[in-house]
Structure 1
């Protein structure tokens, strides 16, 4: 699956638009990682536990978006975007979305 943030795929021609596709995940903090992260805020620096958690959440959201595109018969996604939002205390939603297309 080709995924681009542009409205076209360089060197390819869009033959058919398949429609909007998305994938999302709501991720909550692990209490053990939350305690470690809290300690790290005292001394400063990157909180690697959260970085890893959010990276994994982004990958899952993208995988779900790709599955949605495959189910629509697409072989590429253009205009892909990622967004995140706090849903409730200690949870975040990551959504990946774009337009599924068939390219040659």
Structure 2
């Protein structure tokens, strides 16, 4: 699956518009990771536990978006974006979205 943030795929021609595609996941903090993160705030630096958690969440959201695109017959996604929002305290949603297209 070709995924681009641009409105076109270089060297390819959009033959068919398949429509809006998306994938999302909601991730919550793990109590063990919260404890480690709390300790990290004392000494400073990157909170790798959260970085890893959010990276996994982005990959899940993108994977689900790709599944949605494939189900609609797309072989590429243009205009892909990622967004995050707080759903509730200690939980965040990651959504990946774009336009599914068939390119040649």
- TM-score, normalised by the number of residues in structure 2: 0.99
Deviations 1:29-84 (A, max 9, x none): 01000110011011110000000000000000000000000000000000000000
Aligned to 2:71: 71
Alignment of 1:1-104 (within 5 A): 1-104=1-104
Q: CA deviation at 1:20?
A: 0.1
Which structure 1 residue ranges, 5 or more long, are not aligned? none
Which structure 2 residue ranges, 5 or more long, are not aligned? none
Q: After TM superposition, what 4+ stretches of structure 1 lie above 4 angstroms from structure 2?
A: none
> What RMSD, in angstroms, separates the aligned Cα atoms of the two structures?
0.3
Size of the aligned set, in residue pairs, is 104
